[in-house]
Amino acid sequence: MYISNYRRRSEAVFLVFLFLLAFCVFRVFYIQLFRSHYLRQIADKQHNLFAELEPRRGSIYDANLKALAFNMSVDSLYASANSINAKEKSKIISELPEILGLSEAYLTERLNRKKAFIWLARKLPPEKTEAVKKLKLKGLGFLRESKRIYPNGYLASHIIGFAGMDNKGLEGIERDYDRYLTGQPGWALFLRDARQKKLDIWQQMVLPVDGQELVLTVDEVIQYIAERELDKAYRKFNAKGASIVVMDPHTGKILAMASRPTYDLDNHINVNKDSMRNRAICDLLEPGSVFKIVTASAALEEKKASEEDIFFCGNGTYQVGGRILHDHKPHGRLTFRQVIEESSNIGTVKIAQILGEDTVYRYVKAFGFGAKTGFDLSGEISGMIKEPRYWSKTSISAIPIGQEVGVTALQLASAISVIANGGQLMRPYIVDSIRDKQGNIIKENKPVLVRKVVSLDTASRIRKILTGVIEEGTGRLAKVLGFSAAGKTGTAQKLEPNGAYSHNKFLATFVGFAPAEDPLFAIVVIVDEPRPVYFGGVVAAPVFKAVAGDAIRYLKSNELPPEAGQQ
């Protein structure tokens, strides 16, 4: 009996152990077959750290390869939130806000996320990085990233634009050419020890591909000169806005382009949209008297008038289709040349009436108005010009003098370049080339001839007339000692919301080129609502004078005598 009970108990114990062994074997097989992938992931998270490797964004250079935007390596702070205990989190939350300029609430929210990797602060200045390292806080680490640097602050801000924290272009060239500048990210799998500290050992790595570099047509020195003088006029005349374009008339290269108001590329977070707007390509304006160049060119090209033909300017008043047209001061009999030099509205309209509506419209379109120029920076508008079938009875007295037509500063630069280069409309462009890190050219822009607008003879004759505008006409304040220049003033009334022309809101404009005999550049200056003075010959012409004088001395510093171009 005793032996029998002992045997039963032994068998029961054996069966229990056998069951437990079977269960363990089954559990091992279950884990190996069905849970191995999940558990391996947990182990990898504990001992491996995955990090994306950011490519270096391509630099942007001016025409002389001076850096306008580039990237610099800096440290970014991250936390391994899952591995930080409550006491360490409390210490981090209490000590980091003062250094990083972050709120405790922000850090608390970040550290309470159940993640193995989380950013706390991106792209820190070196002094902040050192301050954090001195605290020796557990669970924190640094990764090297690249930060976009704009060494010139405000300079060329409307051209360059800016990139965001993740090096993605958000405005200007940075946005339009982001696909070239960004590059391709890489990644690395780093090993960590039992305390979750990153080891300088990587298990796998794919290196990033750096972005390509842009070379612009902009000359940093000319850009600075243009912005300096535009800013002076903008502030002096309490203007609502202003813009300037400096263009190589022979190639279409933009040497400088600026707008006011402006903004600092390194501090763009709270800047309003008005300050970011590139007025030179996206503001529609009635050009006023600078548009008379089109009418004058058409008349000479079509042989409907010559320089010494006489036009009676009605002593200051002239009626067309029920509209009374006035000159800024009364004129009697003026030659064709004097009509342009003295900027007579009446004389210009009489020339246009000889040409007829269809011919005037044809030349307006030929000079590039009413269509986009094809400029390689986004935001450009096409402007506005009505077809003759939509003209009213008074349109022939408005369009030839720059009313009832909408243009941009860039279109005006292209149009005045037609006269400067001998009659050819060139497509403006601002990106010269795209290159790789070794300097090999990936893509290159070349001058593009859009069309022949007028003959070389007509362009030369208009050039002489525009030289007279500065020497003897309304543009005397654009004259620079030491060399000749050609140009045209404009003072345009702005439209009120009710469609009527304002009597206290004006656009002061000047278009011109220099030197007149062999132009290096064409310049357009527009000042929006200057006060108290508003005439183009007084407000905009001096900007042309200063920019032209300094730019020529810069470009021909080895050729000019010391007194040339002195202001």
- List, by residue number, the catalytic residues: 289
Residue 556: how many CB atoms within 10 A of its CB?
A: 14
Instruction: Give strand pairing partners of 243.
Output: 259, 526
Neighbours of 55 (CB within 10 A): 20
Residues with Cβ within 8 Å of residue 432, at least 6 apart in sequence: 63, 215, 216, 217, 253, 444, 445
Residue with tokens 């269509």: 371
Report yes or no: 216 and 428 within 8 Å, Cβ to Cβ.
no
Q: What is the DSSP string of 106-173?
A: HHHHHHTS--S-EEEEEEE-HHHHHHHHHH--TTEEEEEEEEEE-TTTTTTHHHH--B-TTS-B-SHH
Sign of CA dihedral 307, 313, 316, 319: negative
Q: 417, 426 in Cβ contact below 8 A?
A: yes
Cα dihedral 321, 327, 330, 334 sign? negative
Assign 3-class secondary structure to 231-259: HHHHHHCCCCEEEEEEECCCCCEEEEEEE
CA distance from start to end of the chain: 130
Angle CA 475–481–487, to nearest 5? 30
Question: 242 with 234: CB under 8 angstroms?
Answer: yes
Strand partners, 78: 119, 141
DSSP 518: S
